[in-house]
Amino acid sequence: MDLVLLGAPGAGKGTQASLLGEILPLPRVSSGDLFRAALANQTELGLKAKVYMDRGELVPDEITIGMVAERISQPDCAHGVIFDGFPRTVAQAQALDDLLGRMGRKVDLVIYIRVSTPVLLERLAGRWTCPKCGRVYHRLYSPEKVQGECDDCHVPLYQRDDDTPETQSRRIAVYLEQTAPLQAFYRERGLLVEVNGEQDIQAVHADIVKAIQKARGEAA
């Protein structure tokens, strides 16, 4: 299955992608994580992307599409992918259709995680991330067991560079301008399922699992 998780910054795409491991044992391809990994390795791609990320702007389509195309051509992606944060523009969505089409595949389901702006801002402000595995925590809603340390990797958590108040607001505005049109793009194709992202993490997960089961024709 090729599944797209769509939603604004802080909607819970990364959180939900991590939880899907059991029901959907597929690699998670997060364009944001790929850019952050490239930056950590000081590659040309990472340094180029940083300029846009620090401003809360989207990295240009040709850079992003090339990076994702390279990632999904790897053998672990042969049976499907959970896309987190990609596509984010109509041009990226069309490119994804082409890329998957060449592999005899298509986007099977798009889950739109709906969350209002005040809740998004609160979530982003309290987020802490593991630099090693990318797992995200929240000071109030999903705290780590030992303060400041990843439950799985036992390394210190950090706050992302693009989680300053100005950049958070800019990212949400960019989402509304450039990514929200994808809701209509996928709804018209009969692929979009909307879930209420303002429930607690497990309730959102349960709704996503139901949508996946329905798309696969399984009884919920």
Catalytic residues: 13, 88, 127, 160, 171
Please name the residue ranges forming H helices in 41-141: 44-55, 61-72, 90-102, 117-125
If one asks whether residue 134 binds ligand AP5 (CB under 6 A), the answer comes out as no
Selected from 3, 7, 112, 150, the binder of ligand AP5 by CB under 6 A is 7
Stretch that binds ligand AP5, among 96-104, 135-143, 146-154, 182-190 (CB under 6 A): 135-143
Which amino acid is it at 39?
L
| Per-residue interface string for the shown chain with ligand AP5, residues 90-109, x marking contact by CB under 6 A | --x-----------------
What's the closest the beta carbon of residue 168 comes to ligand AP5, in angstroms?
A: 8
Burial class (CB in 10 A: 0-12, 13-18, 19+), 100: middle
46 binds ligand AP5 (CB under 6 A): no
CB 212 within 8 A of CB 23: yes
Give the pair of three-digit tokens for residue 31.
């364009």
Determine which residue in the list 26, 29, 58, 81 makes contact with ligand AP5, applying CB under 6 A.
58
Q: Residue 14: which of 2, 36, 38, 32 has the closest Cα?
A: 32
For Cα atoms 117, 118, 119, give the angle at the middle one, nearest 5 degrees: 90
Interacting residues toward ligand AP5 by CB under 6 A: 7, 9-15, 31-32, 35, 52-53, 56-59, 64, 85-86, 88, 92, 123, 126-127, 136-138, 141-142, 162, 171, 197, 200-201, 204
